[in-house]
Every structure is written in C-alpha cells, then in structure tokens.
Structure 1
C-alpha cells in the first residue's frame, strides 16, 4: 500500500546554460561548455539545462545542410557531452539536438529533439518537438507523433515533509521546445494555450524548456524588407561592438542559493550596451542593451502559461457559466479552457509548478538574432481572485532568476516548490 505523505516541499538546484552555438563549431561550443564544468560542479546542481540545438547551431535551411549534425538517440556529440556531464556532476542533463530516426515502414524521419539524461548517464526521456517553426520545416523536420508528453524524474532525498523528514520523490516532468509554447503554426486560436493547458490538465510539476527564441529584430517570413533589416542588424551589432555572430565566451554568472552563496559576474566590456534606461530594445530596428533581459519576450512566455496564472476574471466566468458552451465543444479533447473548468474556476489553485526556460543567444546568417533571457519561473497557485495582469507583475508567478539577452551565461538557483503525495 502506498504511503500517503501529504504536502511535501521539494528543493532542486537548477543550472541553466545559455549558449551561442554556431553551425560548424560543435567542437568549439563543446570546449566552452567543458571550460565551465569545473565551476558548475562545485555547486552540485540537480539539473543542468541547455538550449535547443545546443551544440549544432539552429539556422539550417535544407536536409543536406543539417545532415552531418543528425544523430540517433544515444549517439552523437550531444549524447557524449550529456553522458559526461551527468556522470561527472551526478545530475540530470537536458539538451536539444537534431535527431534522425528509422521509424520502420515510414523510413527515416528527422526531428527537433531534446534528450534527458539521468544522474547515472542513462537516457531518461527523449522528446520530439510537437509544434514546428518555419525553420524546422525548411530541413524537413517531422512533428512529434505522440504530441505533448509527461514522464517521471526521480530525485533522492529531495522532498521534505512537515516534520522535517526527507524522502525520495518522483517529479511529474515534461519537456517543451520553443515553438511548442506558441499557437500551432501561429494559426490556432491564441487563447487555446495548447501546451500549458495540456500540462495543467496533467498536473505537470516540472517543465524543462530548451529554446532558440528570436529577438524582434530578426528576419522572419513576415519581414517586409529582409535586406534592409539585415543592414539594421549589422549596424546594431557594430554599435555594441559585437561581431556578426554575437558574443561568445564572455560569460555572465548569476548564482543565488538558499545557503547564502551569491555570485554575480558580468562580461568584461559593454555589459549594458549604449543605453541603460530600460531592458527592452526601443524599436524593431535596434538590438541594444545586450546585458539586459528581453522583457517583451519574457512577458510573452509568461502569458503563454496563462492557465497557470491567477486571473480575477475566472470567478465571474465560472459563476455565469461562460465556459460551459466552449467546454462542451472540447469534450473528449480537453476538460479545461484558459485554466478553468465546469467544476472549478481555476484548476491550478493551490498547486505549484516550475518552468525552466533555457534560450540561446547570438546571431546566425546575419539575419537571425536570438533573444537569450533564459529564465526560471515558479507558479505558486495563489492570488486567484486578485490578479489581472498576465506578465511579470502577476504575483502568482515568481521570476526566480534570468540571464541577459546578448551574452552566454550560467544561471544557478535553488528552487523550492510544493507537491502532494
């Protein structure tokens, strides 16, 4: 018979590694990671998270170009590095990579994937991106046939009961990759919040999210004058004295632990950029303040977790039965909408979840500028009737820590959250 433990407090030490990998520079990126390991090791992290396509670079335009970087599960440079890190640090290691897989009768398919390697150096889970971005389509990436998924991650003696006793714990976990957080193909209704609704309904407690998310200055399929935008990117990088690939090897260190350990190190030159007035670029044709986070993107990420956020309007929706017609149409597919159900205004109330968003930084092709701003968020399940802002000012989400938009860096935090067992 399973022992009922009640409310437990879990404490995990999480390290987030923000990188600027470039296509054709796998060995160089790997060397930078190895140079960090001795410093990371002394903090004894439980989880180390890397970005989407952490070693290979991201901006591939055809199958032939990405071909040399594809690996099968359990092989390749990403596997070798994750296996090494997990064994060396006795931690869970999470890293994005381009996967090739022979799916039997359908032949070889390629995926945008993330491997989760346990503290023994064994594969714990392999997740394939479900919602693809336009760049994924260019090299023939396939969608995850399983869709969004959950899995269990065990941690020894990391949960404390009300009497102070320690317990082994299995955390209900998930992986998402970049575009998974947005509406499907940017065509689905924005308010469906597909990814966060799935994990709300499945009571996911830990979400690990490698990304290659863009800054607003990037050239995309919707950019009206790509050549003009590329010129603006070059001018913006010159103004902050960055090369066309962005900064590499100038690491920001941000460590803040519950035992009082504090480390804050900034790159040697031009950390804030030419203007210190705010942390956002002031126009779509500039990339300024590289040492500050990209707050517009951070607030968007938080918004996309709307079902996890307190929102005062849910009470009236529930009392007036406004969700019932919508939920009746979703019957058999979902039982919640924007965080509410026909039985309860806010399903996440009094629950906790942690999201680890590890983005990359840098520039590729002179046209794609990544947003950095890797962050750790804790959703606390409180203040359900009082909040109306769906951004960092919402008191139901705690910004545990974040990095800058423009520099490689290491963010390490102790995160405490509550679960029921």
Structure 2
C-alpha cells in the first residue's frame, strides 16, 4: 500500500495560504499511485484558537466546506483516499431550540470524491474545549475498500482521566480487529521553540516513542497480521504552541514495530511510503536508555534519555509531551 503523509505548517485563520502551502508540498512531491493521503488535525484552519468566537469564521458545514472540497478535488486528482481534519459546524435546526454543534472532525473521501467517513474527536484537549463538543460515538471504526478494517483517531486525550494502562484507543483497535489506523494530529512539544527548531530534519524520537507506547497492547498481542499505523502531525508554531512534526508510518506485527518512513520535526514535506516494500527500520530500545530507529546503516538516536520506568523494547512512558 502506498501511503502519503502531508506534514506542513498551517497558521491560525490563514485558510487560503494554508491551502496553498499544502498544494505546494503536493506539487513539489508529485506523488504517483497513492492509495491514501493523510493530512493533520484542523489542517487548513490552523489549530491554536482561543475561543468559539475566534474560530467561528473558519467553521465549516458538515461535508461541504472548503476542506471537504479540497479533499474531493485532491482525491479525484490522485485517485486515492484522502483524510483531513477540519472544524465542523453541524446544523441542528431540526432540533429547535437547540443551537448549532461544533466538532473537531476528520473527513474521509474516496477516490471517486465521495465522503465515506466523518469522525468527530472523542477526547478534547483544552484548546478544543474552548469551542468544540466531544464526539459521542467513540473512535471511528469501519471497513474502507482499499484499506480494510480501519480505525481513526484525532491526537490524544489531554485529561488522562483513565489509568495509563487503560489504553482506550489501542484496545479499540484490537476489539474491532482493525488492520489500518489513521491518527491526524496537531501534537505539540513543551520544548523551547528556538531550541526545538534547530534540527528541523531530525525527528523527535521521544514523541514517536510516546505515540507507539500508547499502542502497547498491539505490540504485546503479537498478532501475525500487520497493523499499519499512520501518524500524521503538523509542524511549525502558532503563538506559543510549538508542534512536534515527526510524522511517521509504522507497522506493528509479531511484537515488533517496523518503521516504513519518518519525517523530521520541522520538515514541510510529503512522506510517501510503500508498505509492500522493506521497512526503513525498526523502533528499538537500547539498555543504556536511548530509543533508536535501527536501519541497515546508522541507527537514528533519540535526543532525550528514555525514562527508567518505561515498559519493554519498543515503548516508553514519557510524559514530557503535550497532546492536542
């Protein structure tokens, strides 16, 4: 399967230029024969809104706003599935006197330009809570032709009210026996933006390891069938928000985490991988406490020591990230 992961740096409220930024990355890459193209959370509106009033001009009608139009146009152009995050406004006038509802959503469009899924974020970060409602249907699960049994999530819950070992999303994936997982994100780092951006081509290995850790039950299940996971994050900054980039495509199978492709923290590029080909490497843990992607050449090391309390080989319980 050929997967495209579009990592770029949208800005709050700059919709036209954000569309141009995404198109520029695609045009430069000129991908061929994609099966799916994934974009980040709130890709064209930007993410770091302060209130409902702030985001209100950029809210989009369900399935018919500028993001949906872009997704359909792009899906038809590349003859592939497209999934992209957007701020959804739901007309509930039929339920008068109830007012409109607003969600942090992701739309999925097939190669014929038809909407085949619309997932509403279930767990909200504090930035989302200023304007959005929680989706009440849980994580998305469904069969998507060309992908298989697919689970969709948006970023990560910030409250962490459930115990660490609850692993809600991971157990959802196992329960529905999904073989393909999409996670659109606007994942931040708490590191100083100037320091973090000095190595734009270097992935933030602590962030990647944390994402994989949250899927630990999939690793421990040691399933024979591979589960492909697409982590599509954004990069750049918005005010004091610094985004971690590091978009990746991994495969979890037989207790191992294969890395098919990985972007740096500051790269504005289209990551294209083919999961029918040999993986780029494997995500491993070294006894001295550093996470690495082991390749056929030099391993790519984490810049941050792994916490001593972390679980086994491919996971880490780092809590130094902040989720959106």
Q: Tell me the TM-score normalized by structure 2.
A: 0.80
C-alpha RMSD of matched pairs (Å)? 1.7
Which one of the candidate residues 354, 370, 374 is aligned to 2:247?
374
Aligned residue for 1:112? 104
Taking CA–CA contacts closer than 8 Å with sequence separation of 6 or more, which of the two structures ends up with the larger relative contact order?
1
State the SS of the aligned residue for 1:416: coil
Show structure 1 runs of 4+ deviating over 2 A. Answer: 32-42, 102-107
Can you list the C-alpha shifts for 1:209-230, whole angstroms capped at 9, x where unaligned? 110001122xxxxxxxxxxxxx
Question: In structure 2, how many angstroms separate the alpha carbons of the residues matched to 1:411 and 1:42?
Answer: 10
* C-alpha displacement of 1:203: 0.2
Aligned residue for 1:294? 204
Seen in structure 2, the aligned counterparts of structure 1 residues 34 and 288 have a Cα distance that, compared at 3 Å, is closer
Contact 2:184–2:233 (8 Å) recurs in 1: yes
Question: In structure 1, how many angstroms separate the alpha carbons of the residues matched to 2:199 and 2:31?
Answer: 31
Residues 72-111 of structure 1 aligned to structure 2 (within 5 Å) = 72-103=61-92, 104-105=94-95, 106-111=98-103
Question: In structure 2, how many angstroms separate the alpha carbons of the residues matched to 1:415 and 1:154?
Answer: 17
Which one of the candidate residues 304, 324, 327 is aligned to 2:214?
304
Aligned residue for 1:173? 150
Contact 2:90–2:100 (8 Å) recurs in 1: yes
Aligned residue for 1:275? none
Aligned residue for 1:355? 229
Question: In structure 1, how many angstroms separate the alpha carbons of the residues matched to 2:24 and 2:50?
Answer: 31
Question: In structure 1, how many angstroms separate the alpha carbons of the residues matched to 2:260 and 2:109?
Answer: 24
State the SS of the aligned residue for 1:37: helix
Aligned residue for 2:265? 405
Aligned residue for 2:122? 130
State the SS of the aligned residue for 1:176: strand
* C-alpha displacement of 1:402: 0.7
Residues 123-162 of structure 1 aligned to structure 2 (within 5 Å) = 123-139=115-131, 141-155=132-146
Contact 2:200–2:267 (8 Å) recurs in 1: yes
In our comparison, the structure showing a higher alpha carbon Rg is 1
Aligned residue for 1:337? none
Question: In structure 2, how many angstroms separate the alpha carbons of the residues matched to 1:359 and 1:34?
Answer: 17
Contact 2:197–2:265 (8 Å) recurs in 1: no
Aligned residue for 1:328? none
Question: In structure 1, how many angstroms separate the alpha carbons of the residues matched to 2:60 and 2:113?
Answer: 17
Q: Tell me the TM-score normalized by structure 1.
A: 0.62
Contact 1:49–1:358 (8 Å) recurs in 2: yes
Question: In structure 2, how many angstroms separate the alpha carbons of the residues matched to 1:359 and 1:84?
Answer: 22
Seen in structure 2, the aligned counterparts of structure 1 residues 299 and 42 have a Cα distance that, compared at 3 Å, is closer
Can you list the C-alpha shifts for 1:25-60, whole angstroms capped at 9, x where unaligned? 211121122234345444221101000011111000
| Structure 2: gaps of 5 or more residues | 278-324
Question: In structure 2, how many angstroms separate the alpha carbons of the residues matched to 1:121 and 1:98?
Answer: 20
* C-alpha displacement of 1:195: 0.6
Contact 1:41–1:89 (8 Å) recurs in 2: no
Aligned residue for 1:387? none
Contact 1:100–1:111 (8 Å) recurs in 2: yes
State the SS of the aligned residue for 2:82: strand
* C-alpha displacement of 1:75: 1.6
Contact 2:26–2:270 (8 Å) recurs in 1: no
Aligned residue for 1:364? 238
Greater per-residue strand proportion: 2
Residues 19-418 of structure 1 aligned to structure 2 (within 5 Å) = 19-103=8-92, 104-105=94-95, 106-139=98-131, 141-155=132-146, 171-179=148-156, 182=157, 185-217=159-191, 233=193, 236=194, 287-310=197-220, 346=221, 348-365=222-239, 367-380=240-253, 382-383=254-255, 396-416=256-276
State the SS of the aligned residue for 1:65: helix
State the SS of the aligned residue for 1:14: strand
